[in-house]
């Protein structure tokens, strides 16, 4: 589909500088753009490409608009990156969704399927599952008994959703993710062996959550593992049993949260961060990548390190660690001077 600059500007409440009738049908990076595409400029580092880009339309942050005239039509907004997200979502939703049921696939006679649902080939929908309107279920998906998936959600290929899981509206679950597998619960016997503890809870995922590829979210031992509204998980994130993640928190790749950890609202957690179990993290917390969280964290903190400490202390420790070799040399020199003094 083609869109005019005028139509796109109306979506993001932008101001046009140039031809309002120029059309685009695709998106592109500013340094690689072709005619008929829309690109964006939100970082001053890429301003040099504004004079050479072949893009027909540039979505640009207001503070980066040049005084000179440029070839592409500009759509001027306060935050180009945020407006780009709006346009990309619009573009994605404007694509025609798949509908109907491909065969072979299996839908239990007691499952409830809403209107406009797509079920891909080799997918399996179990007894008493409820699939609401306009859900997209791609090939090779397994949906267990009593699972509920809210309207407009998208389940990509190879996702496995165990029994009793509840998924909200407009969620996106990427390929290979497993939701509702058993939590890691074992009781050690006197002889050192381990007895499995049955995991009888479930997973609840609220509205507007996006979960990356190859994540695992374990069912609760009892009660629920809960992912609150608007949470975004990157690829390869492990969420253990009875964990709760607060609304609009984002977690980058390869992070792992041990059982019963509670994360607050609006947190930002860097990649490869590990959490010990039974911790409480407050709201608006930011955690540097590769941190090890071993204790509770209050609201509005920025922390990092192994083990994690306040961010200012983390930076000081980092500076010191880069000078360790010099400190060792200084200590060895002092030891030699002390020995010389003793010998005198």
The vertex-340 CA angle with 339 and 344, nearest 5°, equals 115
Of 313, 222, 305, nearest to 270 (Cα)? 305
11-31 pLDDT per residue, tens: 999 999 999 999 999 999 999
**CA contacts within 13 A on the Cβ side of 292:** 3
Distance separating alpha carbons of residues 153 and 175, to the nearest angstrom: 14
pLDDT band at 89 (very low <50, low <70, confident <90, very high): confident
Question: pTM of the full predicted structure?
Answer: 0.80
With beta carbons less than 8 A apart as the criterion, state whether 148 and 167 touch: yes
What is the C-alpha separation between 28 and 174, in angstroms, rounded?
23
Assign 310 a pLDDT band (cuts: 50, 70, 90). confident
The residue ranges of every structural domain in the chain are 3-94, 100-315, 318-344
How many Å from the N-terminal Cα to the C-terminal Cα in the chain?
Answer: 90
The sign of the dihedral angle between the CA atoms of 317, 321, 323, 327 is positive
* Closest to 199 in 3D by CA, of 217, 178, 220, 223: 220
Inform me whether the pLDDT recorded for 233 exceeds 70: yes
Rounded CA-CA distance 298/307 in Å is 16
Question: What is the chain's mean pLDDT, rounded?
Answer: 94
294 close to 310: Cβ distance less than 8 angstroms: no
Q: What pLDDT is attached to residue 96? A: 64
Q: Is 93 helix (H, G, I), strand (E, B) or coil?
A: helix
Averaged pLDDT, 252-267: 97
The CA-CA-CA angle for residues 94, 95, 100, to 5°, reads 120
In percent, the amount of the chain with pLDDT more than 90 equals 83
| Catalytic residue of the set 108, 241, 248, 278 | 241
User: Does residue 9 sit in helix, strand or coil?
Assistant: helix
Collect all residues with Cβ–Cβ distance below 8 Å to 69 and sequence separation of at least 6: none
Residue 311: per-residue pLDDT: 73
Q: Name the CATH architecture for the domain at 100-315.
A: 3 Solenoid (2.160)
Over residues 246-258, the mean pLDDT reads 97
Superfamily for domain range 3-94: MurE/MurF, N-terminal domain (3.40.1390.10)
pLDDT for residue 197: 94
pLDDT of residue 305: 87
Q: What percent of the chain has pLDDT over 70?
A: 100
State the average pLDDT over residues 197-212.
97
pLDDT > 90? residue 228: yes
Mark whether 241 is an active-site residue: yes
pLDDT of residue 330: 83
Q: How confident is the model at residue 318 (pLDDT cuts 50, 70, 90)?
A: confident
Q: Residue 150's CB: how many other CB atoms inside 10 A? A: 22
Round to whole Å and give the CA distance between 136 and 198: 32
Report how far residue 52's alpha carbon sits from residue 75's, in angstroms, rounded to the nearest whole number. Answer: 17
pLDDT in tens, 67-85: 988 999 999 999 999 999 9
- For the record, the structure tokens of 127 come out as 């007894």
Q: Which residues pair with 75 in a beta bridge?
A: 16, 59
Asked if 3-94 and 100-315 have one fold, the answer is: no
């Amino acid at each position: 589909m083609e869109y005019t600059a005028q139509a796109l500007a109306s979506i993001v409440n932008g101001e046009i500088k140039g031809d309002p009738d120029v059309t685009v049908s695709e998106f592109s990076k500013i340094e690689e753009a072709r005619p008929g595409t829309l690109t964006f400029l939100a970082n001053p580092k890429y301003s040099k490409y504004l004079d050479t880009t072949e893009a027909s339309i540039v979505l640009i942050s207001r503070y980066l608009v040049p005084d000179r005239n440029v070839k592409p039509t500009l759509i001027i907004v306060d935050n180009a990156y945020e407006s780009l997200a709006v346009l990309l979502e619009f573009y994605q939703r404007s694509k025609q969704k798949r509908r109907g049921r491909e065969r072979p696939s299996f839908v239990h006679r007691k499952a409830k399927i809403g209107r406009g649902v797509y079920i891909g080939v080799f997918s399996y929908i179990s007894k008493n599952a409820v699939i609401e309107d306009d859900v997209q279920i791609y090939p090779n998906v397994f949906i267990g008994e009593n699972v509920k998936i809210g309207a407009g959600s998208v389940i990509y290929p190879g996702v496995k959703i165990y029994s009793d899981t509840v998924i909200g509206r407009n969620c996106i679950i990427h390929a290979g993710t497993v939701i509702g597998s058993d939590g890691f619960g074992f009781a050690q016997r006197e002889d050192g062996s381990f007895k499995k503890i049955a995991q009888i809870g479930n997973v609840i995922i609220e509205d507007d959550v996006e979960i990356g590829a190859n994540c695992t979210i374990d069912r609760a031992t009892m009660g629920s593992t809960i992912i609150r509204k608007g949470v975004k998980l990157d690829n390869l994130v492990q969420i253990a049993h009875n964990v709760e993640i607060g609304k609009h928190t984002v977690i980058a790749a390869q992070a792992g949260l041990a059982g019963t950890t509670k994360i607050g609202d609006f947190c930002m957690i860097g990649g490869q961060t590990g959490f010990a179990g039974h911790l409480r993290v407050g709201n608006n917390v930011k955690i540097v990548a590769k941190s090890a969280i071993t204790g509770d964290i209050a609201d509005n903190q920025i922390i990092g390190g192994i083990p994690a400490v306040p961010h200012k202390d983390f930076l000081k420790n980092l500076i010191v660690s880069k000078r360790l070799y010099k400190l060792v040399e200084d200590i060895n020199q002092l030891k030699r001077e002390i020995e010389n003094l003793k010998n005198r």
